Chains A and B, each alone.
Chain A
Amino acid sequence: MIGGQEEVNETRQTGELSRREWLTKIGLLLNGIAVTVLAVPILGYLISPILGSERGKYKRWIALGDVNEFPEGQTRLAKFDNPITSFADGDTDHIPCWVRRIQGEQFQVFAVNCAHLGCPVRWFPQSGLFMCPCHGGVYYQDGSRASGPPPRGLFEYSHKVEAGKLMIETGQLPTLSTTAKLMARSRGCQG
Chain B
Amino acid sequence: MSRLRQIGEWFDARLQLAGVIRESMQHPVPKASASWWYVFGSAALTVFILQVVTGILLAFTYVPSAAEAWNSLQYLNHHVTLGWFLRAVHGWGSNFMVALVLIHMCQVFLFGAYKYPRQLTWILGVFLLLMTLGMAFTGQVLRFDQDAYWGLGIGASITGRIPLIGQQAVHMLLGGPIIAGATLSRFFAFHVFLIPGLLIGFVSLHLLMVLKLGINEWPMPGRIVRKETYEREYHELLKKDGIPFVPGAVWKDMLFSAAIIVAIMACAAFFGPYGPTGYPDPTIVQTIPKPDFFFLWLYAMLALLPPGMETPALLIGPVIVIGFLILLPFLSGEGEKSWHRRPVAVVTLLFVAIALGTFTKLATFSPWSPIMDGWSGDPLPVSFLNGRTPLQRQGALVFQGKQCRNCHSIGGSGGLRGPALDSVATIMTRDQLVRQVVQGGGNMPAYGKNLNPAEVAALVSFLETLYPPNRPPARDASQAEMKQVAAPTPAPNH
Contact = CB atoms under 8 A, between A and B. Distances in A.
Contacts of A9: none
A89 B69 CA distance: 11
Interface residues of A, number: 58
A151 B310 contact: yes
A88 B157 contact: no
17 contacts: A49-B174, A50-B171, A85-B180, A91-B280, A91-B281, A94-B283, A113-B153, A116-B302, A120-B287, A122-B285, A132-B369, A133-B287, A133-B289, A141-B449, A146-B445, A173-B170, A177-B161
Contacts of B349: none
Interface in A73-127: 77, 79, 82, 84-96, 112-113, 116-122, 124, 126-127
B149 interface: yes
Contacts of A171: 177-178
A58 B183 CA distance: 16
Interface in B280-310: 280-283, 285-289, 299, 302-303, 305, 307, 310
Contacts of A92: 66, 149, 178-181, 183, 280-282
Interface string A45-64: 00101101100001000000
Interface size class, chain B: 35 or more
Interface stretch (B219-227, B248-256, B401-409): B401-409
Given A127-B445, A141-B449, 14 more contacts: A49-B176, A49-B182, A53-B168, A82-B180, A84-B177, A92-B181, A92-B183, A94-B282, A134-B288, A146-B445, A147-B445, A150-B307, A173-B177, A175-B161
B134 interface: no
B298 to A, nearest CB: 10
B175 interface: yes
Contacts of B449: 128, 140-141
A173 B152 CA distance: 11
Nearest to A58: B177
Contacts of A27: none
Contacts of A82: 177-178, 180
Nearest to B159: A175
A-side interface mostly: loop
B282 A52 contact: no
B177 A119 contact: no
A135 B303 contact: yes
B233 interface: no
Contacts of A124: 403, 406
A117 B372 contact: no
A67 interface: no
Interface of A: 47, 49-50, 52-53, 58, 77, 79, 82, 84-96, 112-113, 116-122, 124, 126-129, 131-136, 138, 140-141, 146-151, 171-173, 175-178
A117 B153 contact: yes
A65 to B, nearest CB: 14
B156 A89 contact: no
B170 A135 contact: no
B62 interface: no
A172 B177 CA distance: 4
Q: Which 4 A-B pairs rank lowest in CB-CB distance, beginning with the nearest?
A: A177-B166, A175-B160, A88-B181, A90-B67
Contacts of A94: 281-283
Nearest to B173: A49
Interface in B157-201: 157-162, 166-172, 174-185
A71 B287 CA distance: 25
Nearest to B305: A149
A175 B403 contact: no
A173 B155 CA distance: 12
A122 B286 contact: yes
Contacts of A116: 157, 302
Contacts of A84: 176-178
Given A86-B181, A88-B67, A146-B446, A133 B166 contact: no
Nearest to A113: B153
B49 interface: no
B283 A95 contact: yes
B457 to A, nearest CB: 17
B342 interface: no
Nearest to A136: B368
Contacts of A50: 168, 171-172
Interface in B388-431: 401-404, 406, 417
A53 B285 contact: no
A121 B279 CA distance: 18
B157 A113 contact: yes
Given A122-B372, A127-B403, A177 B303 contact: no
A127 B194 CA distance: 48
B172 A79 contact: no
Nearest to A133: B288
A165 B162 CA distance: 36
Given A91-B280, A178-B170, A148 B443 contact: yes
Contact of B372 (A133, A140, A149, A178): A133
A131 B375 CA distance: 13
B440 interface: yes
A136 B153 contact: no
Contacts of B149: 92
Contacts of A133: 287-289, 369-370, 372
Contact of B68 (A49, A90, A112, A173): A90
Given A49-B176, A178-B160, A178-B170, A88 B66 contact: yes
A62 B150 CA distance: 24
A85 B181 CA distance: 9
A176 B285 contact: no
A178 to B, nearest CB: 5
Nearest to A84: B177
B444 interface: yes
A112 B178 contact: no
B370 A138 contact: yes
B450 interface: yes
